[in-house]
């Protein structure tokens, strides 16, 4: 059965500390967000895909990065952002949030329908 969900997000760095913001995933390779060089114009948006049972961690390695994130996907999808020392936020598709992380803080990104690998019923077809 199909359920509407968020299937990704767009992200862009807003300050120089985003050069040290790692995007880590349970299913994809790790990469650094970075920012636009030269100081002219806005930073570019990066499209990030997110599967239903995937966890992504946005981790600051030094510095205090500030970034903007926008949920993408189906109309009823929901993206959940859990900061390690901050609030938990829920973003509907099309809504944006500006996240400010402290030094060595992280933010977990997931969709609302995630099933964790060690949860009861994991591995069973639904």
> 22-55, pLDDT tens digit by residue?
999 888 888 888 776 666 677 889 999 888 778 8
Instruction: Name 116's Cβ contacts closer than 8 Å, sequence gap at least 6.
Output: 53, 122
Look up tokens 């859990």; give the residue.
Answer: 82
Running along the chain, 126 residues long, what does each successive block of 10 average in pLDDT? 64 90 88 74 85 86 92 78 90 91 91 65 52
């Amino acid at each position: 059965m199909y359920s509407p969900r968020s299937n990704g997000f767009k992200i862009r760095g807003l300050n120089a500390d985003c050069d040290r913001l790692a995007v880590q995933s349970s299913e994809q390779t790790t990469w650094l967000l970075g920012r636009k060089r030269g100081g002219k114009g806005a930073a570019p948006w990066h499209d990030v895909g997110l599967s239903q049972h995937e966890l992504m961690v946005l981790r600051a390695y030094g510095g205090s990065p500030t970034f903007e994130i926008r949920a993408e996907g189906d109309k009823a999808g929901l993206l959940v952002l859990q900061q390690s020392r901050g609030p938990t936020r829920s973003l509907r598709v099309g809504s944006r949030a500006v996240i400010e992380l402290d030094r060595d803080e992280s933010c977990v990104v997931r969709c609302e329908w995630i099933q964790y690998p060690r949860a009861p019923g994991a591995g069973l077809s639904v």
